[in-house]
Every structure is written in structure tokens, then in C-alpha cells.
Amino acid sequence: MPMSESFKSRLFPAVEEIAAHFGTPFHLYDEAGIRATGEELKKAFAGIEGYREYYAVKALPNRRILQLMKEMGFGFDCSSIPELILARELGATAEDIMFTSNNTSDEEFAFAAADGGCILNLDDITLIDKVPAPFPDLICFRYNPGPRRTGNLIIGNPVEAKYGISHEQVVEAYRRAQKRGARRFGLHTMVASNERDYTYMVETARMVLSLAETVEDALGIRFEFVNIGGGFGIPYKPEDHGLDLPAMSAEIGALFAAFRAKHGYAPKMYMESGRFMTGPHGVLVTRAINHKDIYRKYVGVDACMSALMRPALYGSYHHIDVIGKEQSPKTEVYDVVGSLCENNDKFAVQRELPKVDEGDLLVIHDTGAHGHAMGFQYNGRLRPMELLLRTDGSVEMIRRAETVEDYFATYNFSPDRFTPAQS
Ligand SMILES: *Cc1c(COP(=O)(O)O)cnc(C)c1O
């Protein structure tokens, strides 16, 4: 199921009032739901010593949300300078931060090393020599298994994915890192996205543990941690089953226990879920402002793809409820559209819905990850505000809507005109 019954029961009765107070459109996130999922994860993996979630900041890079993650004891998975700043602002430092960049620049390496540093997760063997001295004590590599694993639609086939070092490079990568002075080691991979088959994640854990063994045999390295990445899936469609977290954690726990029995120690397990942590706990609330009836029937709403790119980018399904008509028969078939001059600016295509009237509120489910975060300003369409439904029932604005001033802010610079000598 998409949005939980609990979230619905707290939001739907109040949503008209919230919309009247703040205006529409807005993303709204559910603090209780996010906390519950965080606790569920911790409980599921409590049997693995040193388990830690590093929340993938890119999924929902809002300070207030990241504060919740911090309160739950999570670290942060960052891949850009602004994401590092966000994490550090909250007091995260050193091993609270995994820096999993790719195609990394000198500026990024310098920033990652500053302010107490972070866990550097290198995406390629050629980057080892580009890490500024002093080389960090603790180093990690991102592993791409290539043809050893099949991927999925969102992340792509590992063979075609730009990420990570190849299987053949692994031992050499750690050897070179050792030569540059690394003494502590981690191993990272991320091979799936929105994967709801828990056995895939179990295979990922098996894969990294087995690779850790290979590297240990070759170089005598003991891995401090393995990081199985993000990619835990959520059900977007009503008929989708969720990830079987208890079964997954039991099987992964058994793999770590077996490793410990064989080697007398086991690495810690890290993961970096974004979608699983916040995806189902966010919605986009938007009002129907127009309708048209041409070759198809359209409902025009006051949000557009600047607030939610996933349908346009991946053809993703996001469930929609029409407030006050949750139980009404779905007698109509609509495309639910925004106002951008792009024909893929659609939240739903040929969707069965109850009859929508202008003024109706639509709740678009599962926008808590890769929603607002992926927004943009194309066509002068600005990103909406973000709200947090607190556990006490109050609603807090946690980011205002973008304004026309924000749109023009990048024209604020000192004039600079240069004539190259070669002209
Ligand atoms: C995007 C990303 C994640 C989070 O992915 P989800 O699908 O949101 O869990 C984790 N780690 C890395 C390196 C990523 O790029």
C-alpha cells in the first residue's frame, strides 16, 4: 500500500484547514511515520553489531528532516558540497558522514577533508592519487559488480552504470590505498534502486562479505565496515507488496553471524536508505484549478513537475486521492497535469479517479523521497513549500516556497566582461 492508514487518518481530516492556512501546493511530511520507520530499521538490524543507517541526504535534503535523522542516531550519506554543509550544520562530523561522490572534483576532495573530514568513499581507482595529502586513515571504495548482478530500471544494469570500481580492480585499489597510508577500510556497493525483493538485498550483503574475504586473503586487510547502500523499495501502487524487512534482516544477520563464526570478527554493517526512510511519509497536496475535455480528459492542478519529477523521469506511478471523495466510485479517466510547457508534465496518465471538480484537493502519495529534492525552475515554474506534520498534530513550515526573487537571484553578481586575447 502507498501512504499508511495512520498517516491518512491524521492528515485527511485536517488537510483542507492546512491548505487554507498555508495555501497550495505543498509537500507535507509525517514526523511520526519517519520516526516509526527509523525505529523499525534499528530494531530489524539490532542483531548486527555496529549497524548504522546513513540517511541518503539527496532523497530529502531538508534541514528539519535531517535533524530527525540525527536525533535517531543516523549518519548522513552525502555526495556534494552543499550536502556536506547540510550534514555538518547539524553537527555531523568525521565518521557520521559517508562521502559517496562520483566523478569527484579537487574542490570536493578538499571540502570533504575539511572540518573534521568524513568517510571518503572512492568511486574509482584513478581517484586514489587525487585525494589530497594527508591520505585519510579510513578509506572506502564503491564496488560495481558488473555482469555478476542484474540491476533494475531506475539504477540501470551494473555493466552500464557509471559507478564504482570493477571487480578486477578491487584488490589493486586497496593495495594502492594502503600504499598511500590508509590503515582502516570499508567496502561499499549500491546495485539496486527501489528494490522490493528482499532477497536481492540479502545477495548484496553476501556479495560484499565475500568480497571482503577476498581482499582480506590477498592483502591481510580487516574490513571495519561494509555498506550495502540504499535502494530498499517501497510500494507505490496499491497492489504492490512492501519489502519484507524482518525476513531480510534475519537472513542478513545470519550472514554476518556466519562471517563472525568463521573469522572471529565481522565488519559493521552500514546502509544508506533514502526512499525507504522517507518516501511513504511525504505527500504533495495540490488543488485542481482547471479541467479540459479534448481527446482525453485533463485535470489541471496548481503544482507541476517542478515539484515532482519522478513520473516524467521514470514513468513512475504515484497514487492519488481526491479529498472528500476517497470512497467515491472511480467513474472518470484523467491525465492529471501541471502547467509546464512539456507534455510529460503529468502526475498521472489515464488514471481512474472519482469526478474531480475545480477546487478539489488532490493528495499525491509517496513524495517523501526524490520529490521536492529533484525539483527545478525550468519554464519559470518554482518549487513549492515543505511542511512537517508534527507528532503533536501541529504543522510546521520547514521550507518556504520559492519566489520570483529566488528565480532572479542569480542575476545578482558583479559585472564581469572579458575579452580573450585570441578574439
Ligand atoms: C541515491 C543513493 C542512495 C539512496 O537511494 P534510495 O533509493 O533513496 O534508497 C544511497 N546511496 C547512494 C550512493 C545513492 O546515490
Ligand 1 close to Cβ of residue 151 (< 6 A): no
Q: Is residue 92 part of a domain?
A: yes
pLDDT at 151: 64
CATH number at residue 349: 2.40.37.10
Number of domains, the chain: 2
Whether the per-residue pLDDT at 260 is higher than 60: the answer is yes
Higher model confidence: residue 159 or residue 94? 94
Q: Is residue 420 part of a domain?
A: no
- State the distance from the centre of ligand 1 to the C-alpha of 143, rounded, in angstroms: 14
Q: Is residue 70 part of a domain?
A: yes
Ligand 1 close to Cβ of residue 227 (< 6 A): no
Tell me which residue of 292, 278, 287, 277 sits closest to 364, measured CA to CA.
Answer: 287
Tell me which residue of 28, 99, 38 sits closest to 69, measured CA to CA.
Answer: 38
Tens of pLDDT, residues 381-394: 999 999 999 999 99
- State the distance from the centre of ligand 1 to the C-alpha of 417, rounded, in angstroms: 41
Whether the per-residue pLDDT at 156 is higher than 70: the answer is no
Does residue 173 contact residue 216 with C-beta atoms inside 8 Å?
no
The percent of residues in the chain predicted with pLDDT above 90, rounded, is: 95
Tens of pLDDT, residues 336-392: 999 999 999 999 999 999 999 999 999 999 999 999 999 999 999 999 999 999 999
Strands, DSSP E only, in 251-296? 268-271, 282-293
Ligand 1 close to Cβ of residue 278 (< 6 A): no
Residues 59 and 91 in one domain: yes
pLDDT at 152: 62
Residues 239 and 287 in one domain: no
Report the atom number in ligand 1 closest to the C-alpha of 232. 9
The preferred substitution site among 272, 367, 374 for testing ligand 1, maximizing ligand atoms within 8 Å of CB, is 272
Residues 245 and 391 in one domain: no
Whether the per-residue pLDDT at 160 is higher than 90: the answer is no
Residues 131 and 174 in one domain: yes
Average pLDDT rounded to a whole number, residues 69-97:
98
- State the distance from the centre of ligand 1 to the C-alpha of 239, rounded, in angstroms: 24
- State the distance from the centre of ligand 1 to the C-alpha of 332, rounded, in angstroms: 37
Domain range enclosing 199: 32-278
Q: Is residue 10 part of a domain?
A: no
Residues 346 and 221 in one domain: no
Angle CA 122–219–177, to nearest 5: 30
Average pLDDT rounded to a whole number, residues 70-98:
98
Report the atom number in ligand 1 closest to the C-alpha of 121. 13
- State the distance from the centre of ligand 1 to the C-alpha of 193, rounded, in angstroms: 7
The C-alpha atoms of residue 183 and residue 34 are separated, in whole angstroms, by 36
Residue 176: exposed, middle, or buried by beta-carbon count in 10 A (0-12, 13-18, 19+)?
A: middle
Per-residue pLDDT band for 150 (boundaries 50, 70, 90) equals: confident
Ligand 1 close to Cβ of residue 100 (< 6 A): yes
Catalytic center residues: 341
CATH number at residue 269: 3.20.20.10
Per-residue pLDDT band for 44 (boundaries 50, 70, 90) equals: very high
The preferred substitution site among 193, 194, 316 for testing ligand 1, maximizing ligand atoms within 8 Å of CB, is 193
pLDDT at 19: 98
